[in-house]
A and B are shown apart, each in its own frame.
Chain A
């Protein structure tokens, strides 16, 4: 798997503390790394890559097992972030399609809204966030996912100029998403306040 670099968040930022969860359920911890490469950056082999390859050519998704909700949820969460990166890259015409079977309608609307606004404003995101310290908490047909998101290498460009990241953008921050079981599959629900107990 040439393009996958299993970079763990704690390697870069130290372990994320995980606070109490609203539900008592099984927990499953994974490290999730989302890596994107600028054209002037490196490909997975470390070579300079100036090509404008199609961002939708590969969207690797982990195999899901119906018997293992944590694995399935993690795969959906992984696919979700990949879709977010693609939607904001300025290269995809139908942002909603990216999130099909991944997120609930409200979450799709939010992401399509962001992509639309960025397009109207001439802003594109380059690079990708680093997602680490992913923890899944399953309780029957509901679940939550907490993670740390580092956007310091997921920059914005307007009119060909890169906006310098703001100070608070250089630090990873916690996120928490509701996961919804729908028709036998897990979908990413709305983001919720992770609470002060979850730090990155």
Chain B
């Protein structure tokens, strides 16, 4: 029977025995049509696999049973698995040397395929990089830095250690695809833009103040090459902070929609910022938000854990807001 390299030797790890006081799980099949009788489940029972011998304690390597240390993760479509997300006792995942001397090479023997990708201490490892698990399915806990990804990895201690595979957080090694993805993302540059508003120069309490961003161009930005990867940005929307503490809102910056409009409820005469005419003004700001995609040698690639959005720096303008006086005679 064929076995993928991922789980090679895994069955051999089934050494510990634990007997649980369970009655048999029972399976039945019944048609959704109530007139169909349930299938007789006693006809062809398959051969029973060997059960574990009683009396041998379970192999619990000091993992906490605290609920917050376990996540129920969809590791592949429709397949969920409990994953330990707390630090494993006694596990050295640093993969780095002790910092003494100038040697900066691997800390393990990477000559044993497929355990040839990176080190965790003295253990040699490989991992699913990029992760095959969509980022939205990653556990909420256990991530120690933005660069870490949640994926399957497998390690062993050369020369004859037992392979140990699991799902968990790892920091991708240098020049791995996620690492290059971050570099490609960092090479994207958002365009310079200006923020303006109408009515021009002065708006009024209660009026529809329309913001407009100029400088987006065709909405596409292209980053430089990072190894085999390249990042592309597509304009998504504008975030606007009108400066009156009402909060940020988003708009598409299209002339035929009104989602870039804002109504100021108070004048700006007591604001510390002043426009060129010396009038108190709100400091409105905007930034551009892009959706980011990646290509590997020209072909699209998904890189879970690497940013898929990019925000420009904030850029602002002063918005004086006056009040229309109505005289009643």
Contacts and interface: CB of A to CB of B under 8 A. Distances in A.
Interface of A: 1, 3-6, 8, 10, 29-39, 41, 43-44, 49-64, 71, 74-75, 78-79, 81-82, 85-86, 89-98, 100-102, 105-106, 108-110, 112-124, 126, 128, 133-134, 149, 151, 156, 158-161, 163-166, 168-169, 173-177, 190-194
A89 B23 CA distance: 11
B301 interface: no
A3 B19 CA distance: 22
A95 B165 CA distance: 16
A62 B39 contact: yes
28 contacts: A1-B40, A3-B41, A4-B38, A8-B30, A31-B31, A34-B26, A36-B23, A36-B24, A37-B25, A56-B49, A60-B42, A74-B39, A78-B39, A89-B20, A91-B51, A93-B49, A97-B47, A97-B50, A100-B46, A105-B3, A109-B7, A116-B7, A120-B59, A122-B61, A149-B78, A158-B70, A191-B77, A191-B79
Main secondary structure of the interface of A (DSSP, over half): mixed
Contacts, number: 288
Interface residues of B, number: 66
A114 B47 CA distance: 22
A115 to B, nearest CB: 7
Contact of A6 (B30, B50, B77): B30
A91 B18 CA distance: 6
A91 to B, nearest CB: 6
B3 A109 contact: yes
A108 B7 CA distance: 10
B53 to A, nearest CB: 8
A75 B44 CA distance: 10
A113 B165 CA distance: 8
Contacts of A121: 60-61, 63, 84, 166
A97 to B, nearest CB: 4
Given A54-B24, A121-B63, A116 B39 contact: no
Closest 7 CB pairs of A and B: A60-B41, A122-B60, A175-B78, A62-B39, A52-B21, A97-B49, A39-B21
Interface in B139-178: 164-167
B28 A169 contact: no
A49 B45 CA distance: 23
Contacts of B43: 60-63
Nearest to B38: A6
Contact of B166 (A61, A117, A165): A117
